[in-house]
Amino acid sequence: MDIVGFLKSQFICHLLICYIFIVSGLIINFIQLFTLILWPINKQLFRRINCRLAYCISSQMVMLLEWWSGTDCTLYTDPESYHKYGKENAIVILNHNFEIDFLCGWNFCERFGVLGSSKVLAKKELSYMPIIGWMWYFLEIVFCKRKWEEDRKTVVQKLLNLRDYPEHFWFLIHCEGTRFTEQKHQISMKVAQAKGLPKLKYHLLPRTKGFAVTVQCLRNVVSAVYDSTLNFRNNENPTLLGVLNGKKYHADLYVRQDIPEDEQECSTWLHKLYQEKDAFQEEYYRTGTYPAVPTIPPRRPWTLLNWLFWALLLLYPLFKLLINMINSGSSLTLASFAFVIIIASVGVRWMIGVTEINKGSTYGNNDNKQKQK
């Protein structure tokens, strides 16, 4: 291992990265709070400002993938569609098989300039999470409780509010509703058998109601649906901890453009789409490639420049504080600092654990409660 790789794997570096992310994120959340005064005066200005503020947070995560770990992201797509990316609103369907698939989705958004304005359909619990959850609140992210009877009215209203959004945005959606595990897959395939639907090998059955409502509400402002299938070469099993350790992965993303013509046929269209996605997965595992032209979208410098700005702004006062604490020689001060480090370490591990598959949501695990939408 070279010296750079060794430094990237050191926990002190991880702590500094997380310190920058947490402190800058809370500062940005605080600024976002004050932008609320703009909402009744100039709603579009409020939205544009919050797109830039949100970018300051989410781009730090993308920086880790692009610049810190140096992960390669190859895009397989139709050349004619490629030139439209970032220039139109779109719904992006993502498979949910990997711990960092959300990060690769953000990287896709970043390469085409829509990271700050990107939207997701997220579970309600995330809205209470500092930094990311609070950032999403100001971005008008659509939160749901995963109980369609309770969610429908709220989700429809939130989606309709996006029809006059002033920035191009991509609405990222995991139609499977939860991350793929073998247990969830077995339960999902039992539902498929009971409903007479074709079984899938590499995906869970898509939940069609949320997707159909999204298409219906955004049809007048969304130009296309981008079906995205993500895989990693050489059977890599990417993790956020691996990215933080500077491990380089090789991601392949297959994107094709389409849109359901009939809102009433969204369910049939989506099930057919997932059968095709399964076939693409099968082909990828067999050949290691997708049936499209490979392209590597140019990496933009803004994620790195944003991180360097916050690093310079926040590390100087931190180091100055540490020097003063050491010079003080106070046992109580040093003990307090050690306690803060321990708390920070636990916090970092908790944040990483949120993305781990074996600690993910249990949604979809309970056979008795499973109700395919």
The pLDDT assigned to 263 comes to 63
| Residue pair 336/324 in contact by the 8 Å Cβ criterion | no
Mean pLDDT to the nearest integer, 130-156:
86
Mean residue pLDDT of the chain comes to: 87
DSSP state of 92: E
Helix, strand, coil share of the chain (percent; to 5):
60, 10, 30
| Residue pair 255/227 in contact by the 8 Å Cβ criterion | yes
Residues 6+ apart with CB under 8 A from 127: 133, 134, 136, 137, 141, 143
Q: Is the pLDDT of residue 20 over 70?
A: yes
The CATH classification number of 3-303 equals 3.40.1130
DSSP secondary structure letters along 296-362: -PPPPSHHHHHHHHHHHHHHHHHHHHHHHHHHH--HHHHHHHHHHHHHHHHHHHHHHHTT-GGGS--
Mean pLDDT to the nearest integer, 328-354:
69
CA dihedral 170, 178, 303, 112 (to 10 degrees): -30
Q: How confident is the model at residue 368 (pLDDT cuts 50, 70, 90)?
A: very low
Q: Is the pLDDT of residue 39 over 70?
A: yes
The strand pairing partners of 295, in sequence order, are: 75
Residue type, 110: E
Is the C-alpha dihedral spanning 316, 318, 321, 322 positive or negative? Answer: negative
Question: Could you state, in order of their start, the residue ranges of all structural domains in the chain?
Answer: 3-303
Tokens at residue 352, please?
A: 């990483």
Write the pLDDT tens digit of every residue in 73-87: 899 999 988 999 999
Q: How confident is the model at residue 351 (pLDDT cuts 50, 70, 90)?
A: low
Residue 257 CB-half CA count within 13 A: 16
Name the range with the highest mean pLDDT among 56-70, 90-104, 135-149.
56-70
Q: Is the pLDDT of residue 126 over 50?
A: yes
Chain length of the chain: 373
Residues 6+ apart with CB under 8 A from 175: 93, 206, 207, 208, 210, 211, 270, 274
Residue 293's H or E segment, with its range, is: strand 293-295
Which phi and psi angles does 255 have, rounded to 5°? -125, 130
Cα gap 372→195, rounded to integer Å: 9
The pLDDT assigned to 181 comes to 86
Mean pLDDT to the nearest integer, 4-17:
87
Q: Which of 47-51, 128-132, 326-330, 348-352 has the lowest mean pLDDT?
A: 348-352
Cα gap 261→362, rounded to integer Å: 34
Q: Is the pLDDT of residue 37 over 90?
A: yes
